């Protein structure tokens, strides 16, 4: 079985992290986002994953070389010369996806995190006999997603409205699809949207079916959702593989710490924290609801909450970093600084406090 992951887009909502690496390679819970998906696909027997790329292909190629062998799965690239949206890339990759067997293939947005119940999706797809299956989930704020109106019993989609202006329903497209090859006949090779042009058409012919996704779901393509998504993910990890979570008197709730990270004396860490490889957390530090990317140093008695600290950055002693502060790669926050929601571009030094949420160029 094959799968395509949409890896394009500029990831602008996850800047400044995406100024350093493409969004799918930004680590989520200590693992590049896209790896969560590739592992889930591999686990249910997908043998080839096609990455649909239009941005920074070199970085992606390096990544692939490392993981193709590690994961023992074929990963190929389908490269656009212009962004083709969310449907055009499927037409471009047609020859890679279709092998004449008529077997359906998966298509995924690269920024969605869930327990990926793909086996159940295959069973669902077989049961309804339609042309395409999509997973849906309930959210509080449906207007920023594709909204789906479906018949509860059968799952048949009656309406698909991408980012509606007024309220339609609270079930939304989770960005995980299983498609028959015939769907490709509906897509022209040009910039086009699967949500606006393809799904409404298939729904109109009563051949689009939706399955309510069991378990948690989050699009982690924006800082606030990334931080909430980590909490949901760690909660689900606690149920599945609790041995992967940190334990000890200094840990509160769910915390993931890479084994190469060093944690000093008298820290209090958690809940909902991910600490990446080679990080150094000095003594007396307080961390909650935050992510430290690879090689970050947090100096003594600093306090970090609801924030993301980019690769190779440092936070000085007694500093206080909170309220959706996002530090890009290689940012240095001086001692005793306060950051209230600062979004800091890579390679900066912060010498004075950021008192209200703002972007520091
Ligand atoms: N190859 C390629 N080329 N990929 C693209 C392009 C492109 O031109 N544009 C976007 N993508 C990829 C993104 O990298 C992402 O994986 C996926 O397509 C969806 O794009 P987003 O920019 O993340 O869309 P969204 O989050 O606003 O909305 C989409 O996801 C929601 C669920 O998270 C839609 O599919 C909604 O219907 C859905 O509810
Ligand atoms: Mg998204």
pLDDT tens column, 94-150 = 999 998 888 999 999 998 999 999 999 999 999 999 999 999 999 988 999 999 999
Placement of tokens 């997908």 in the chain: 46
- The residue contributing the CA closest to ligand 1 atom 35 is 175
User: Which structure tokens are listed for 45?
Assistant: 């027997």
> Residue 250 and residue 76: Cα distance in Å, rounded?
43
- Where would I find the H helices in 144-289? 199-204, 223-241
As for the ipTM of the complex, it is 0.98
The predicted model gives 290-296 an average pLDDT of: 98
Q: What is the pLDDT of residue 60?
A: 80
Placement of tokens 């160029």 in the chain: 361
The per-residue pLDDT for range 134-145, each reduced to its tens digit, is 999 999 889 999
Res. 158 pLDDT band, cuts 50 70 90: very high
C-beta of 84 in contact with ligand 1 (< 6 A): yes
User: Which structure tokens are listed for 34?
Assistant: 């896209």
The per-residue pLDDT for range 186-240, each reduced to its tens digit, is 999 999 999 999 999 999 999 999 999 999 999 999 999 999 999 999 999 999 9
pLDDT at position 317 over 90 = yes
Ligand approaching nearest to the C-alpha of 6: 1
C-beta of 8 in contact with ligand 1 (< 6 A): yes
CA-89 nearest atom, ligand 1? 1
pTM for the whole structure: 0.92
User: Which structure tokens are listed for 205?
Assistant: 């012919």
> Residue 42 and residue 40: Cα distance in Å, rounded?
5
Ligand approaching nearest to the C-alpha of 93: 1
pLDDT at position 296 over 80 = yes
Q: Which of 109, 199, 221, 222 to mutate to test the pocket of ligand 1 (most atoms within 8 A of CB)?
A: 109
C-beta of 328 in contact with ligand 1 (< 6 A): no
Q: What is the pLDDT of residue 71?
A: 85
Distances (CA, A) of 321 to 105, 127, 222, 331, 356: 44, 51, 18, 13, 12
CA-78 nearest atom, ligand 1? 1
Q: What is the pLDDT of residue 190?
A: 96
Q: What percent of the chain has pLDDT over 70?
A: 100
Q: What is the pLDDT of residue 101?
A: 87
Q: Which of 34, 86, 114, 138 to mutate to test the pocket of ligand 1 (most atoms within 8 A of CB)?
A: 86
Per-chain mean pLDDT for the chain: 94
C-beta of 22 in contact with ligand 1 (< 6 A): no
C-beta of 86 in contact with ligand 1 (< 6 A): yes
The predicted model gives 258-286 an average pLDDT of: 98
pLDDT at position 56 over 80 = no
> Residue 18 and residue 41: Cα distance in Å, rounded?
24
The predicted model gives 284-306 an average pLDDT of: 98
| Sign of the Cα pseudo-torsion (11, 16, 19, 20, in order) | negative
Res. 360 pLDDT band, cuts 50 70 90: confident
Phi first, then psi: give them for residue 174, nearest 5 degrees.
-85, 0
Q: What is the pLDDT of residue 352?
A: 95
Break the chain down into helix, strand, coil percent, rounded to 5. 25, 30, 40
Question: Which of 251, 248, 215 shows the shortest CA–CA distance to 233?
Answer: 215
Q: What is the pLDDT of residue 57?
A: 76
Q: What is the pLDDT of residue 62?
A: 81
The per-residue pLDDT for range 1-48, each reduced to its tens digit, is 999 999 987 778 889 998 998 888 999 999 999 999 999 999 999 999
Q: What is the pLDDT of residue 310?
A: 98
Question: Which of 289, 283, 280, 277 shows the shortest CA–CA distance to 265?
Answer: 283
CA-191 nearest atom, ligand 1? 8
- The residue contributing the CA closest to ligand 1 atom 27 is 145
> Residue 167 and residue 216: Cα distance in Å, rounded?
23
């Amino acid at each position: 079985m094959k799968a395509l992951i949409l890896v394009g887009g500029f990831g602008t909502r996850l800047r400044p992290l995406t100024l350093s690496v493409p969004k799918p390679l930004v680590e989520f819970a200590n693992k590049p986002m896209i790896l969560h998906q590739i592992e889930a696909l591999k686990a249910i027997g997908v043998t080839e994953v096609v990455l649909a790329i239009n941005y920074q292909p070199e970085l992606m190629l390096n990544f692939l070389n490392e993981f193709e062998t590690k994961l023992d799965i074929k990963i190929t690239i389908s490269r656009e010369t212009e962004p083709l949206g969310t449907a055009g890339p499927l037409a471009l990759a047609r020859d890679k996806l279709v092998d004449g067997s008529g077997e359906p293939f998966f298509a995924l947005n690269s920024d969605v995190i869930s327990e990926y119940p793909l086996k159940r999706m295959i069973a669902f797809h077989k049961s309804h006999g339609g042309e395409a299956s999509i997973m849906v989930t309930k959210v509080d704020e449906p207007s920023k997603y594709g909204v789906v109106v479906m018949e509860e019993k059968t799952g048949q989609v009656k309406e698909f409205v991408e980012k509606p202006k007024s309220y339609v329903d609270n079930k939304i497209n989770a960005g995980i699809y299983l498609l028959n090859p015939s769907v490709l006949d509906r897509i022209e090779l040009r910039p086009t949207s699967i949500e606006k042009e393809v799904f409404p058409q298939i729904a109109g012919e009563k051949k689009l079916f939706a399955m309510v996704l069991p378990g948690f779901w989050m699009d982690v393509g924006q800082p606030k959702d990334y931080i909430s998504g980590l909490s949901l993910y760690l909660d689900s990890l606690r149920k599945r593989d609790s041995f992967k979570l940190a334990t000890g008197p200094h840990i509160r709730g769910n915390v993931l710490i890479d084994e190469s990270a060093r944690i000093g004396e008298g820290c209090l860490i958690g809940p909902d924290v991910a600490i990446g490889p080679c990080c150094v957390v000095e003594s007396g530090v307080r961390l909650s609801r935050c992510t430290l990317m690879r090689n970050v140093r947090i100096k003594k008695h600093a306090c970090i909450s609801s924030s993301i600290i980019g690769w190779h950055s440092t936070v000085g002693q007694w500093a206080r970093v909170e309220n959706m502060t996002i530090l890009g790669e290689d940012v240095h926050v001086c001692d005793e600084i306060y950051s209230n929601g600062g979004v800091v571009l890579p390679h900066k030094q912060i010498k004075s406090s950021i008192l209200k949420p703002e972007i520091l160029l």
